[in-house]
């Protein structure tokens, strides 16, 4: 009895926000991927949008190869942005409530026209510098968290499994070092 209580407590400490919001969110991300795949046969990733959109303003051959897909990738990204807004206007604003959602305490909430919006407290230099490396790395490494992580892993692709193991391991090391250096948030 006492051991199971200790076990429960350990689990609660590892998952302070439970798992339901993560699992439900992941289910929806997967569903979005499946909707596109069923209709079009395309396993869509999010980071190609960066290069395909650059083809509108740059003649570099590296971007021009994505001309054929650049219009629907803009539509995909617009959908992701508006999907985030739809979440903000419903669940985040408390208009729709569910026990599966754990609001947490990160960042800063603010209101515009009755919609509860959210903003990060992570410092802009981290976002900018990290963003540059994400832009370089995802494009050289053939995919990001959605291309490798969702579509590639879902395809049981060895390349993607190695890619995910690589960026996950390096990201954990980086975050630990950054925190150890006293950088927060």
Figure out which of the listed residues 10, 24, 56, 94 binds another protein, where binding follows CB under 8 A: 24
Query: What angle is formed at CA 116 by the lines to CA 125 and CA 14, rounded to 5 degrees?
Result: 65
Figure out which of the listed residues 9, 12, 56, 120 binds another protein, where binding follows CB under 8 A: 120
Nearer to another protein, 2 or 31 (CB): 31
The answer to whether residue 179 forms part of the interface with another protein (CB under 8 A) is: yes
The answer to whether residue 94 forms part of the interface with another protein (CB under 8 A) is: no
Nearer to another protein, 2 or 38 (CB): 38
Figure out which of the listed residues 1, 2, 5, 81 binds another protein, where binding follows CB under 8 A: 81
The answer to whether residue 178 forms part of the interface with another protein (CB under 8 A) is: yes
Figure out which of the listed residues 1, 5, 112, 113 binds another protein, where binding follows CB under 8 A: 112
Distance of CA 147 to the CA centre of its chain: 11
Eight-state DSSP code of residue 32: H
The answer to whether residue 12 forms part of the interface with another protein (CB under 8 A) is: no
SS in 3 state form for 101-125? Answer: CCCCCCCEEEEECCEEEEECCCCHH
The answer to whether residue 70 forms part of the interface with another protein (CB under 8 A) is: no
Residues 28-57 that bind another protein (CB under 8 A): 28-47, 49-51, 53-54
Figure out which of the listed residues 2, 3, 99, 104 binds another protein, where binding follows CB under 8 A: 104
The answer to whether residue 182 forms part of the interface with another protein (CB under 8 A) is: no
Closest to 184 (Cα-Cα) out of 120, 132, 119, 135: 120
Residues in contact with another protein, counted by CB under 8 A, come to a total of: 129
Q: What are the residues whose beta carbons fall under 8 Å from the beta carbon of 88, sequence distance 6 or more?
A: 115, 116, 117, 118
Q: Cβ distance 65 to 105 under 8 Å?
A: no
Closest to 64 (Cα-Cα) out of 75, 76, 53, 79: 53
The answer to whether residue 84 forms part of the interface with another protein (CB under 8 A) is: yes
What are phi and psi for residue 181, nearest 5 degrees? -80, 0
């Amino acid at each position: 009895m006492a051991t199971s209580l200790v076990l429960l407590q350990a689990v609660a400490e590892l998952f302070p926000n439970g798992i339901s919001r993560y699992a439900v969110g992941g289910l929806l991300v997967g569903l979005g991927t499946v909707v596109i795949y069923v209709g079009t046969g395309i396993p869509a990733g999010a980071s190609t949008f960066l290069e395909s959109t650059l083809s509108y303003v740059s003649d570099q051959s590296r971007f021009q190869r994505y001309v054929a897909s650049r219009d629907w990738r803009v539509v995909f990204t617009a959908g992701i942005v508006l999907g985030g807004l739809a979440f903000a206007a419903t669940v985040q604003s408390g208009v729709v409530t569910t026990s599966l959602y754990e609001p947490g305490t990160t960042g800063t909430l603010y209101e515009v026209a009755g919609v509860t919006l959210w903003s990060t407290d992570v410092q802009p230099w981290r976002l900018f510098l990290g963003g540059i490396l994400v832009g370089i790395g995802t494009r050289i490494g053939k995919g990001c968290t959605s291309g490798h992580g969702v579509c590639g892993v879902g395809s049981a692709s060895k390349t993607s499994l190695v890619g995910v193991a690589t960026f996950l391991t390096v990201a954990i090391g980086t975050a630990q070092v950054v925190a150890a250096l006293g950088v927060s948030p």
